[in-house]
Structure 1
């Protein structure tokens, strides 16, 4: 018992020693010096950190990325999309393709011409491919840039205007394709036909990025059937570029291309590959969407 009382007293004495006026073994003066030291130490660290961030921010432009060397331009996206990169449905079963048509309707909502009537934000740039539409420097004080109109009516039977099923109910499905946005990127049309498949060489124009789809596997040759393309020049016209970013180009609409498979072999799953061709557009088999995409397409009937 005496030993226990002695230990208890030692512990209590360590927490607060009333004789020496010490808390946890230190006097108030000692604690004040330690507190002041760490206050100055961590204050200096915080100042160095904040100063470094402020200097870094001074080198950045609010409207244009300082470095884009790690961006592999550009990605090619399609709608509708699925997690497994498959588009398989039964044309006689509405439920099997309803989720696809809903995605396409939602995506094309901003492309309704009724939403592009504000002349302060949009302008009619014509329906023929033209050269780049320069709208000033990124550092200029012009303010928000206008965007070229793009009506979904340009997508023909894949617009959803006359056929709200986008061809799925007839076994002639559509895909809506776009090039992903990259600030200040100017796609360059192919200078020759050397890198373009023979069946797509007629699409080469001076102000257009062509796109072409074909079967990815040799055993599917002849099963894909006729493929139709809709949009301005059946490709991506240059006058929609460059893109000035969200701050300067908030209402920007990318040009679209609609692809329709009008007589694909039914009850067969086919791997389809679509590519865009340009002098500064590159493909990579390891990157599913870099300048290309492939999708398993299957049209089934009961």
Structure 2
């Protein structure tokens, strides 16, 4: 019993020693010095951290991202999209393409010309390809920049206006293709047509980034049939560039190209590759959306 009292007195005395006025083995002065040391130490670390962040912020632009971790310029994408990069549909079964047509309708909703009537933010740039629209330097104090109108009616039968099924119900599927937005990027048309396939060389012209879709595999040659293109000059006209970013160009609409496969071979899955051509447009085997994309298309009329 005496030993127990001695132990209890030991930890109680360590917690508070009334004789030496110590708390947890330290006097008030000692605790004050420790508190002051760590206050200065962590304050110094916080100052370094805040200073580093402030210096980093000085190097950042309010209008253009300093670092980009997306596809190198430019990425080429399409609507509708699927996780497996394939569009296998049955014209007689709307369940096979209902999600595709809905995605295309939603995407083209902002391209209704009625929604582009504000002359403070939009302007009519014509339906013929033109040169770049220079609306001032990115860092200037001009504020919000105007954007060119792009009416979905330019996409013809793939606009979804007259044919709400975008050709899927007739076995003539459409794709809506766009170049991804890159702040201040100015695509350059090809100077020569040496690197362009023979069947696409006629598309080379000034002020347009040409687009061409074909079968990716040699064994599919002739199965794709006729491919029709709709838009301005069947490509991406330069007057829609550059893009000034979300802060200055939140209303911006990039130009589109619609591609329709009007007599694709039925009951066959075909790997289709679409590609844009330009002097500053590059491709990578590591990324299937850099300057091009491929998608498997099949129009099946036979029941499985």
Q: 3-state SS of the aligned residue for 1:236?
A: strand
Q: CA deviation at 1:90?
A: 1.1
- 1:64, CA displacement in angstroms? 2.8
- Partner Cα separation in structure 2 for residue 257 and residue 62 of structure 1: 31
Shift of 1:67: 5.7
Q: Which residue of 2 aligns with 1:33?
A: 33
Q: Which position in structure 1 is the counterpart of 2:201?
A: 201
Tell whether 2:110 aligns with 1:110.
Answer: yes
- Aligned residue in 1 for 2:43: 43
* Structure 1 runs (4+) greater than 4 angstroms displaced: 66-71
Q: How far off its partner does 1:170 sit? A: 0.4
Contact 2:148–2:252 (Cα < 8 Å) also in 1:
yes
Q: Shift of residue 48 of structure 1?
A: 1.7
For residues 16 and 299 of structure 2, the distance between their equivalents in structure 1, rounded to whole angstroms, comes to 82
Aligned to 1:77: 77
Aligned 1:150-229 pairs, distance under 5 A: 150-229=150-229
Structure 2 CA distance for partners of 1:70 and 1:260, relative to 1, 3 Å: closer
SS of the residue corresponding to residue 97 of structure 2 reads helix
User: Which aligned pairs between 1:1-302 and structure 2 lie closer than 5 A?
Assistant: 1-66=1-66, 72-302=72-302
Query: Post-superposition shift, 1:66?
Result: 4.3
CA distance in 2, matches of 1:69, 1:177: 22
For 1:71 and 1:107, how far apart are their aligned partners in 2?
Answer: 21
Instruction: Give 1:138 shift.
Output: 1.4
d(CA) in 2 for partners of 1:15 and 1:93? Answer: 80
Helix, strand or coil at the partner of 2:88: strand
SS of 1:233 mapped into structure 2 = coil
Q: How many residues align?
A: 302
Measured on the aligned residues, the alpha-carbon RMSD in Å equals: 1.5
Structure 1 residue 29 displacement after superposition: 1.4
- Normalised to the residue count of structure 1, the TM-score between the two structures is 0.96
Q: 2:149 and 2:215 mapped to 1: Cα distance? A: 33
Q: Name the stretch that deviates more: 218-227 or 122-131.
A: 218-227
